[in-house]
Structure 1
Amino acid sequence: MSGAAEPIARAYAKRWLWRAVAPAAVPLFAGLTLLLIPLAVIAAPETRTAAASSACSIGGTGATVAGIELDAVQMGQAQTIVNVALAQGLEPYAATVALATAYQESRIRMLANDGSSSELTAEQAAVTATSLEYAHDGLGSDHDSVNTFQQRWIAGWGTVAQLMDPVYAAAAFYDRLVDVPNWRTIPLTQAAQAVQISAAGGAYARWEPLARELAGMLWPAAQGAAANPAGAASGVCPDLPVPAGSWIRPTAGSVTSGYGLRWGTLHAGVDIAGPRDSPVYAAAGGTVIAAACTSAYCDRDGGLGLAGYGNLVELDHGSGVTTRYGHLSAYTVSAGQHVDAGTLVGFQGSTGNSTGVHLHFEVRQDGAPLDPVPWLADRGVDLDAPDPG
């Protein structure tokens, strides 16, 4: 691989391109396939309506494309692939080749690899299995292949950490694609095979109709997102109808980590894990104190080596009470804005100091953190209750 992919990915990190809002023409559908996140179970608040389900997202709402049903996870990864093509100055056909490739290789999902392939040495297996430390949409076990394109670190595509970054993965694909002679004019399957060197090189042609339609669908969103500030997004989920003065569950999911000491330091809130890009709502009415990236970067998933909340929204509810909503994939509000309980403020993600998709939710009184579970319980909201619907 040439040296172009990594600097392109770094430049791309200055913009929020891989979490673009899907075009309004993309239809919602009820049967949303959930992410394979351990312990993540959808749990909706009692006040949630059908229209405000986890099918709402920014990564891409579910759609039927060329007769194939794609869920929000797949559409989100597809949008990333299209956005990177635009960021590199390529045309929609480049995205078409990449999308056909990604569908063949992973069904357009960010796959980790548990290193169980018998083709790997113990050392190679251990390195490959580190992919599990990064946000992913499922598991694979083909050699040392990871991510949407099933790129191999042993084959020189990059480190496991780099390959588990969807932006880097797409940039690396395009970096090799543009080196293929006449890639714009040779059959799509030949262009894809020249990049992938797959054992089933002719298989990419099958997905060309899907890829062409998908690229055409997502290209306008990529163009619109290029002008957005990092982290900011327009909402495609309706606000929840909540009585004034009420407190509500801020998002769907189950509590996977509680308040208290964790690894010797205070975990100042609770983690609520649900599907990627599940809508996050204001737990009560108030004013937005901050809506910003609080880490070195927020255009892609973070990790344990990254400090900060990632994309963070903080609300002031009066009387010294504030709430924080961390690790968002994007936020939909701005500082100084008044919000009601149930106002959409962002979407579940894994930005900042995070290793999986969830909402980190805090309640503070005069700046001091409190346990959100009893706080909300005193206000009629049971975070530990099973899914009511």
Structure 2
Amino acid sequence: MLKLVAAILVLLFLGPVAGVVSVAALMNPAAISCLSGSLLVGDIPDSLTATTRDGRSITLNRQQLTHAATIIATGGRIAGVGREGVLIALMAALTESNLRMLANPTAYPESVNFPNDGVGSDHDSLGLFQMQSASGWGTVAELMNPEYQARAFFGGPTGPNGGSPRGLLDIAGWQLLDPGQAAQAIEVSAFPDQYQNYQPVAEAILSALTRGRPSTGDAVRPALPETSRVVFPLPAGTFTTSDSFGWRNDPYTGERRFHAGSDLPAPAGTPILAIADGIVTFAGQRGTYGGLIVLEHTVGGERVASYYAHMYETGIHVADGTSVAAGQHIGDVGSAGKSTGPHLHLEIHPEDRTSRPSTRCRGSATTAQQVSTGLT
């Protein structure tokens, strides 16, 4: 079904056999990897039930999920935020307001004149992230706008506050922090440990709301020719292997976390090669990825995206919208973003509208033996 995914797993485990693998030989549909997907919001469900880290079940309604979609879409438009930055924002909004736009008539009587989901009573705080106008986050009218609050939370060069108060992108090294710690650095709560409790809920929201692309978007996406070959992403003899796709102990926190790719340590500056013919859909800096290139390919009539991460800014040699050939030098190995040393972090993202990424990834343990079964 998604043959390129199986091909890359085989290549990563077994090495670049002659550098090229025929797509026609990749016929094992069981050997399908899956990853976290994009930040394009799909259909919003009427409700979603998820469990917090401490075991409490909560159900979010469509209005709450619509606010979550606003946060996701806003983060997806801001360079450097990425999926992990959006996860942090969702954790913060879940903790602060349970994803509700809260007015505060005691501190700001005029706030009830704006669309809201109820009344809050936390001092002089407003909205999804419980921001305070008096602290410089914005006017009451601005803070009663969900998109404005999301932009303020993410901050950075395009944020509305110019770094004061600090948004996520204004915190140096936020990618290296635990997500709960990053949320606390922005919210400065009296209960700093509370954000981590909502991480599983935030992950469930991301999985549910970004499981596929809107059908209307497919019509404007460029047509891609069928790929005829798959190339190993690094030159032979230049790399070793370390962490593979799957569960591992995070090298920064020591916690058991899912690793959504394969790591190939190599000297800084080692050429990174496109694994297949395709088109560049992103090339730039993005959150924990550091320098990131995203390519889209067509295999068996289906779209597959490949992600190449941790390049330095000067190590990116392609631009958005350009076509590339399998084996083309697209970038150089670096150690930008959340990285412990020079390496290529490679992810393969099949576009599957019917399966939830978290279920498909975390419920299966694909091994090299399983992947190679049925391949010739």
**TM-score, with structure 1 as normaliser:** 0.39
**TM-score, with structure 2 as normaliser:** 0.41
